[in-house]
Amino acid sequence: MSNLRRESSQEQVLQPNLYHDLFTSPRDIRADYRLSSAFAGRIGGNQRFTISRDDPLFDQIKKDIPDATTDGTWKELCDLRGLAKKDIWKSAIIEFWATLFNTLISGAAGISIAKYGTQYNLSPTTMAAAGGLSILFSLPLFIHAAGPASGGHINSLITIATFTAKLAALPRAIVYVFMQCLGAVAGGFLLRAGLGEADTVGAVVPGCYWAPNAGITNGQAWVIEFSACCTVLFIAFGVGLDPRQRDIFGPALGPILIGVIVGITEFITGIMKPGYTGASMNPSRCLGLVAATQTFRGHWVTWSAGIAAACINGLFYVLIPPYHAEQARDEEKGKQI
C-alpha cells in the first residue's frame, strides 16, 4: 500500500507533456528506453509514443535516438552513426516482413483483377473499384500489425516524408527504405514463383505500369503521381501524425483512414484515362512488382514524383508545424507560474 502511495505522489509531480505521454510512472522512466519503441514518426501514434521533455533522461535519449522526440536538430537527425544501432535494424526487419506480404497480397490482387477483368470484359471502373477496395481493407491491417514494432510505414513514400518532416532520423530512413525495397522484391518474386513465370512476366500491375499506347505521357503520369502522393501524405500526416488529433483518432482509427484515402485515390486515378491503371503512392511496392514482372518502363516516375511530394510535405510541416514546440513550452511555463 505504501508503494502505491509513493508511485501515485510521484506521478503527480511528473505531469505528462502536452502532447508527449509515453511514460506514466517513475518505474517506466527507469526502464530501458530502448525497449519503449519511442518514435515520433509512428503512423497512427500521433506522437503519443515519444519521450516527454519532463523525462529526467530526455537529453540522453534525444542524443542517442533523436527521432524519439520532436526536438531533434538536423545535425542530430543526420548523424549516420545511427546506422550501427541494432534497434533500428530490428524495426526494419518488421518493415521488410510487412512490405513483403503487402506486396505479395496487393500484387496478386492487382494482377488477378487485370487478368480476369480483360478475360470477362469488366469495365475499367469495376476493376479500379476492386483494386481500391483491396487496398482499403488490407493496408490498415498491415499498419496495425507493424505499428508497435516499426511505426507501420510499409511504404518508402511515408518513410522519406517522415524524415523530411523531422519525425525520423536519416539512418532510420535509409535502413527502412532499403529493407522495404528488399521486402518488396522478395514479395514480388515470391508471387512470381507462385503464379509461374508465364503468368507473371509482362503482366500489368495496376498503379505500377502503363503501356506505351495508353495515351498518357511520362509527364502527365508524373503530375498524377505527384498529386496523388501529396494527397496521401496530407491525410496521413493529418490523421496519423498530427499530435492534436491523437485524442480524436487515436492509434486505431488513423491507419484505417489512411487506408481509405489510399483506396479512394487508387480508384480515382485508375479511371482518369483509358489505359492508365492509376497512381502507385508506394514506390518500394512497385519496385518489387515491376522487378518480378520485368516491366520497368516509367518506374522512375514513381520514385521521382514520390520523393518530390515527400520534400514538399516536409517543407510545409517544418515551416508550419501542426503544434509549435515554442507554444508548448510557453504554456508549460504559464502553468508553472
| Res 37: pLDDT | 66
Amino acid 16: pLDDT: 37
Average confidence (pLDDT) over 101-114: 90
Residue 140 lies in a domain: yes
Please choose, from the candidates 283, 278, 276, the residue with its C-alpha nearest in 3D space to the C-alpha of residue 266.
Answer: 278
Amino acid at 284: S
pLDDT in tens, 168-188: 999 999 999 999 999 999 999
Within its chain, how far is the Cα of 142 from the centroid? 11
In angstroms, rounded to a whole number, what is the distance separating the alpha carbons of residues 81 and 212?
A: 44
**Residue 19 domain-assigned (yes or no):** no
Q: What dihedral angle (degrees, nearest 10) is formed by the CA atoms of 80, 285, 226, 177?
A: 0
pLDDT band at residue 300 using 50, 70 and 90 as cut-offs: very high
Q: Is 289 among the domain residues? A: yes
3-class state of residue 54 by DSSP: coil
Domain annotation covers residue 28: no
Q: What's the pLDDT at 213?
A: 77
Nearest to 223 by CA among 261, 269, 268: 269
Residue 51 binned pLDDT confidence (cut-offs 50, 70, 90): confident
* Whether 149 contacts 61, CB under 8 Å: no
Which one has a higher pLDDT value, 208 or 335? 208
Q: Is the pLDDT of residue 291 over 90?
A: yes
Cα(142)–Cα(115) distance, integer angstroms? 25
Averaged pLDDT score across all residues of the chain: 83
- What's the pLDDT at 323? 61
Tally the domains of the chain: 1
**Exposed / middle / buried, residue 147 (Cβ in 10 Å: 0-12, 13-18, 19+):** buried
Please say whether the beta carbons of 42 and 242 come within 8 A. no
Q: Which domain holds residue 203?
A: 80-319
Mean pLDDT, rounded, for 209-229: 88
For the chain, give the number of residues: 337
pLDDT grade for 19, boundaries at 50, 70 and 90: very low
Amino acid 75: pLDDT: 92
Is 291 inside a domain boundary?
A: yes
Q: Over 90: is that where the pLDDT of 191 sits?
A: yes
Q: How far is CA 248 from CA 49, 238, 245, 254, in A?
A: 16, 11, 5, 9
Q: Left (φ > 0), alpha (ψ -120 to 50) or beta: where does 313 sit?
A: alpha
CATH number for the domain that contains residue 121: 1.20.1080.10
* Dist. CA 274–CA 326, nearest whole Å: 50
Q: What's the CA gap between 42 and 274, in Å, rounded?
A: 37
Residue 20 located in a structural domain: no
pLDDT tens digits for range 150-163: 999 999 999 999 99
67 falls within a domain: no
Residue 36 reports pLDDT greater than 50: no
Stretch 99-110: mean pLDDT: 94
55 in any annotated domain: no
Distance CA 49, CA 236 (A): 17
pLDDT over 50 at 4, yes or no: no
